[in-house]
Structure 1
């Protein structure tokens, strides 16, 4: 732990939902200022999201221009200057047909991610109103989705290049979610895909061995940065490999106990600007004129695995 806390961080990867965002789906000003400060100190900051390229909150990120985006849980890495996909790992189409047939026979909301865009089978459109999700999440679904008239025909065409699939489930009266367990069991039994809990009780799956950690390693290699000089912040199951791969893995205070257990340190919650606190505490600075609070500081180092 001492060595990890004394590595100079050169690359910082941030999850979006439940991490960079507050519960209203906004980036707190304190997080923005902290990111800007890290960038001014020479740290490359990137988003690492389960969202597709279009779903990343580009408008909110204008003040903290990021050169790369890790999207769809690491299935695709984009350069933001020209939207070029630098690295892509698609699901094996031949394995998807029987899976999709099984899911489409049940009341499950499905989003299919193709080349940075999200598509929803027309047959599941109305399920979005029964998911019980926060308003900003439902609005995100509605604003970004494209119509997919016939998912099965698309897969059979042989042209399917699917980066990721997200499944959202309708809550049941007993506190469980309709069909979630049986679909989880189906997917986890398939060796050709990687299945994670992406938050909001959903299920996300990509090609096997694809995860945000893969995207983090790719960008680090592109920039000539060692993995020990990276830091990642996240809260959900789809952040696990990234947090374990990073030189310093930081769990949000609102993260699950499983994510906290595999992380190196724990910051505050997303409602308490945990990203800003983590940047202030765990990124070592050279002498800077001012900190976020307006005071001079030479370096910042961390402590044990406890809230900041």
Structure 2
């Protein structure tokens, strides 16, 4: 078992798309081996992603580690990996969720209402005229169990962890402006690339949600000093955790604003930047 004597950190939070995973949506062998070494040394490895838990499950299986918890849905859901039961969830309230969905529908976009997976359903989709071609790609790729519902919005929907739409960047910027004006004080939202599904997504969450809030929940539960954490990512939805972790690390393929939020920049996901970072952390170099 590797020695912990040189390592100054107790928790490693790792983003998936554009970070741990390569462009084929797989874990390179070098990255997998590095996370196994970190786990064996006593560092808590936590996958921390914007994906739904159902979309994270295949990565957990491929990684092959006996992990304790995963932070998914941008921090809105923290799950016990062994039992697959939620440890914490932060959904929008029903009124806010409906207001967000109505903004999307008013712009002609069909919203996807993601819930917690209870009763065998991960979420709900609604019809609208501006269904982007990328939506079919996401549906073909995603492991989420999505049920179609009619509009107007029914009254029996569960509280949403996330409501999202897929579209082109310029059009989504207009929708984001409406979100900011109409419900901006009740939500947070991101516009980001999803390389594995080859789409751009505008997604809304309850106010206060981000990946770092999920990591902090685990630090509190496990008695870990938040300054003894490492977080690594590549997208705008990683910025909060990179700024807040004891060591924030951006990928070489990350956007400039993400790299500027980090203390360290590692190699790209195609160059196994996660493995290179883990090797430096375990050796005590950083």
Normalising by structure 2, what TM-score? 0.86
1:180 maps to what in 2? 172
2:45 maps to what in 1? 45
CA distance in 1, matches of 2:32, 2:211: 22
User: How many matched pairs?
Assistant: 270
2:85 maps to what in 1? 84
CA distance in 2, matches of 1:239, 1:100: 24
Secondary structure at the aligned position of 2:100 is classed as helix
Secondary structure at the aligned position of 2:159 is classed as coil
CA distance in 2, matches of 1:196, 1:263: 19
1:167 maps to what in 2? 165
1:199 maps to what in 2? 193
1:114 maps to what in 2? 115
2:285 maps to what in 1? 301
CA distance in 2, matches of 1:272, 1:124: 41
Structure of greater Rg? 1
CA shift, 1:66, in A, is: 1.9
Task: Tell whether the 8 Å contact from 1:13 to 1:46 is kept in structure 2 after alignment.
Answer: yes
* Structure 2: gaps (5+ residues): 1-5, 195-199
Normalising by structure 1, what TM-score? 0.80
CA shift, 1:107, in A, is: 4.6
1:180–1:272: structure 2 CA closer, same or farther, 3 Å change rule?
same
CA shift, 1:103, in A, is: 1.3
Give 1:13-162 correspondences, 5 Å limit. Answer: 13-58=13-58, 60-108=61-109, 110-116=111-117, 118-123=122-127, 127=131, 130-131=133-134, 139-141=140-142, 143-150=143-150, 152-154=152-154, 156-157=155-156, 160-162=158-160
Describe the superposition over 1:43-78 as per-residue Cα deviations: whole angstroms up to 9, x where unpaired.
110111111111104354451232101011111101
Which range is displaced more, 144-153 or 6-15? 144-153
1:266–1:106: structure 2 CA closer, same or farther, 3 Å change rule?
same
Secondary structure at the aligned position of 1:8 is classed as coil
CA shift, 1:148, in A, is: 3.0
CA distance in 2, matches of 1:113, 1:151: 16
Describe the superposition over 1:245-301 as per-residue Cα deviations: whole angstroms up to 9, x where unpaired.
1110100111111111111110111111111111111x23xxxxxxxxxxxxxx331
CA shift, 1:38, in A, is: 0.4
Task: Tell whether the 8 Å contact from 1:111 to 1:118 is kept in structure 2 after alignment.
Answer: no
Give 1:266-285 correspondences, 5 Å limit. Answer: 266-281=265-280, 283-284=281-282
CA distance in 1, matches of 2:89, 2:62: 23
1:295 maps to what in 2? none
1:294 maps to what in 2? none
CA distance in 2, matches of 1:270, 1:52: 21
Describe the superposition over 1:194-238 as per-residue Cα deviations: whole angstroms up to 9, x where unpaired.
112332432221100110000011111111110011001111111
* Structure 1: gaps (5+ residues): 1-5, 285-298, 303-308
CA shift, 1:24, in A, is: 1.1
1:237 maps to what in 2? 236
CA shift, 1:187, in A, is: 1.9
1:104–1:37: structure 2 CA closer, same or farther, 3 Å change rule?
same
Which range is displaced more, 119-128 or 263-272? 119-128
- RMSD between aligned alpha carbons? 2.4
